[in-house]
Chains A and B, each alone.
Chain A
Amino acid sequence: MLVSSVALLLACSALLAYDVYTFRLGILDNLSTESQIIGSNSVSALLFSDSHAAESTLSALRASRHIRYAQIYTPDRRPFAGYWRDGKVQAQALPAIPPGQTQVHRFEGNGVALASSILFQGKPVGFVYLLSDLQSLNERLKGYTVIATAVLLVSLIAALLISRMCQRVISTPVIRLAEAARAISREKDYSIRVPAPADHDELSTLVVAFNEMLDQIQQRDTALLRAHDELEQRVQDRTTQLAAANRELEAFSYSVAHDLRAPLRSIDGFSQALLEDCVDKLDSDGKDYLHRVRAATQRMSVLIDDLLNLSRLTRSEMHKETLDLSALAKSVANELQKGAPGRSVDFAIEENLSANGDSRLLRVVMENLLGNAWKYTARHSHSRIEFGRSQDAKGRPVCFVRDDGAGFDPRHATRLFGAFQRLHSTSEFPGTGVGLATVQRIVRRHGGDIWAEAEVEKGATFFFTLSE
């Protein structure tokens, strides 16, 4: 509304200004013509100094009602003859005409004055000065203002009515649409629909399209929820299956180990009986064979125990707590030293290393790693075993156990953590090959990982991380 009225006002003002301008030019033009007519008719009167004749010429100006005052001057600018519309007053001085011009005009106050020189055969013979009022211009302005105001009012009222109508037809439906969209976004209720307007125009098309889009969204939303529920269900099913599988596996491995133990006990028992009861019937070879059998059965027993432990470990519950790894490592080291007091080994254990994990399982890790280090440095007269913490390439804390013992060929590193995988023969170093597999299982259950670096006869370093 404001914009249209401002625009209208500007347009009217511009037109008015232009009209006033052209009208003024017209007035000036008329005045100029009148002064030329007066001038040419006064030539002879001027030449023959007949002021009466000049005055009678001027009195003809009474017909031009807008001319208030007229004066003819002699070439030396003295008043010669005058005309006053509203009663005689003093003669006015002639304004100067700039050289090179024959006329000069000025709009002053409530009138316009025109002074021009009268030429006869190219020579100035006098001057004529006309003073006209701007009555006609003022009347025109007044009339124009009235009409402009009337037109402005009428068009403003019309604009108001039309805008009201447009609002009803266009704005209201659009606003309703926007509000519905906002409500849907806010409350995530996709069942909201916008009622379509009755008439079949572009707006109703928009509303219908909007509603269709909402249908689509609602369908997708429902499908999404359904899929989500389905997934949940599937996960649950899998978990149940997995748990069942686990239980089966546990039962299997337990029974296997148990069942395997019985014949083993038999073999061991009867071998020992043979050794004790039939010692004089056996020769040295026989005794040797029986010793070997017993050693093998004992090894197998240990293997079965390790297997059982391994399977149990992967299934048992973890109780996580903050514990002192350094103390744990020191305790394990003490036990190892007690087991073989003759050995000369340096334990370099970093102080104040703490970790968050299951104490039982982590003890197994330390026993295995430090035990391995102890084992594989047995050939050296003096060894050094380190346990500490450093940082990996990304700056995360990594624990390590380092020894300067036999080491291993790094080309076979992938086999290190496989169950029953051994990189050395039993005659070199005893062991079942389950230890590192166990350690890997435990470390992985803590959310970490384990890897190793080594060189043959230059020692090995085992790195592991616990939860991130």
Chain B
Amino acid sequence: MTRIVAGSKKAALALPWLLAAVSALHGELPKPTESQVQAAYLYNFGNFIQWPANTALGSSVSFTICILGEDPFGSSLNAAVADRAVGGRAVVAKHIMNAAEAPSCQILFISSSEDTRLNKILQALNRAAVLTVSDMPAFSDQGGMVQFILKGNRVRFEVDLAAARKAGLTLSSELLKLAARVKGNSAAGGQ
């Protein structure tokens, strides 16, 4: 009996390595991490949102994605935006420490480390044409435009259309139809 139990324990330990080995043999890529997915989404948002013409973007030669606060992405955001363009502009990833720099960005990801300073940050932005994204809970309730949520192991997002409109941003229906929840829309959207 003990020998069988000991054997099964060893098998249980070995299992994950086996699975990894099997999946490696099958040639499957390792599943992306949550941060990687979020980084990809951040870049892709740029293709489905229209920024108003008479803003910082108009005179800029680059499309800037900024990260405010603790950087959860590491190299994944840089990898996601390398050699990419949005509307003909080269995409650049920037890490800022101060909300004052925020208006020069097109997309601002607010790290969950800044959850206490959220109100001040949002006020600093005050109708600047910046898309605010975060994964901190109840972000959209507090005035954020796009909130990352995890739904059944998949990264989804909720959209506050009213907040986006206030900033002068137009979100494509392609984006909205993929959102888990759309708030601030007269026509009911999402689930």
Contact = CB atoms under 8 A, between A and B. Distances in A.
B178 A48 contact: yes
B48 interface: yes
Majority SS of interface residues in chain B? Answer: helix
A264 interface: no
Interface in A379-426: none
Contacts of A121: 47, 85
Interface string B47-90: 11000000000000000000000000000000000000100000
Interface stretch (A39-47, A141-149, A323-331): A39-47
A120 B29 contact: no
Most buried by A among B28, B29, B47, B177: B177
B135 to A, nearest CB: 15
Contacts of B28: 78
B37 A49 contact: yes
Contacts of B154: 49
A45 B44 CA distance: 11
A44 B85 contact: no
Nearest to B32: A49
A120 B47 contact: yes
A285 interface: no
Interface in A96-120: 120
A47 B46 CA distance: 12
A44 B48 contact: yes
A43 B174 contact: yes
B37 A44 contact: no
Contact of A48 (B29, B44, B85): B44
Contact of B177 (A49, A53, A120): A53
A76 B156 CA distance: 21
Chain A's interface size range is 10 to 19
Interface in B135-164: 154-157
Most buried by A among B37, B155, B156, B174: B174
B175 interface: yes
A17 B83 CA distance: 50
B92 interface: no
A90 to B, nearest CB: 17
Interface string B33-44: 000010011001
Given A120-B47, A121-B47, A121-B85, A45 B178 contact: yes
Interface string A39-71: 000011101111001000000000000000000
Interface string A116-129: 00001100000000
Given A53-B178, A121-B47, A47 B40 contact: yes
A53 B29 CA distance: 23
A246 B50 CA distance: 147
A50 B47 contact: no
Contacts of B175: 44, 48
Contacts of A76: 29
Nearest to A43: B174
B188 to A, nearest CB: 16
Contacts of A45: 178
Interface string A325-369: 000000000000000000000000000000000000000000000
Contact of B155 (A43, A49, A78, A120): A49
A285 to B, nearest CB: 171
Most buried by B among A44, A45, A78, A120: A44
Contacts of B178: 44-45, 48, 50, 53
Nearest to B172: A44
A49 B28 CA distance: 17
Contacts of B40: 47
Contacts of B85: 121
Counting from the closest, the 5 A-B pairs by CB-CB distance are A44-B174, A47-B44, A50-B178, A48-B178, A53-B178
21 contacts: A44-B48, A44-B174, A44-B175, A44-B177, A47-B40, A47-B41, A47-B44, A48-B41, A48-B44, A48-B175, A48-B178, A49-B37, A49-B154, A49-B155, A50-B156, A50-B178, A53-B177, A53-B178, A76-B29, A121-B47, A121-B85
Interface of A: 43-45, 47-50, 53, 76, 78, 120-121
